[in-house]
Structure 1
Amino acid sequence: MDEIIVKNSSYINLKKVRDDRDGNLIILESMRDVPFEIKRVYYINNLENSVSVRGQHAHKEIEQVIF
């Protein structure tokens, strides 16, 4: 695993269920797999440019999980 360079951060091992037919199911539960209540989820996919910059701002007073 790569070294984490963000202060007060760590890796979280998520449960993965493999389906032999196709794909994986990744399970994440608030207050169980992450140590705080999850209030909002943002999911970004299908980026055409792999170096796209999104948001360009910081949330300094909240707890975050980045996958």
Structure 2
Amino acid sequence: MLMSNTDRPAKLHYLTNGFRVLSPGDHVVCAVTGRRIPLDELRYWNATRQEAYADAQATAQVLAPQ
């Protein structure tokens, strides 16, 4: 039986210039906001931390000095 990737989180391995899909799905979750990010809209991530971010503002929150 074929399983749909709709409404299923993907598991990704984040690379410096892209990402590799380890487990299929249609979205990932932002590490800062908890928002769902459709894979076709994913633009921000951190390869070292292996985290996805919803937008530049969420990314800046992680990178800002404490």
Tell me the TM-score normalised to structure 1 length: 0.24
Larger radius of gyration: 1
Which structure has greater helix proportion? 2
Which structure has greater strand proportion? 2
Higher relative contact order (CA 8 A, sep 6+): 2
Tell me the TM-score normalised to structure 2 length: 0.24
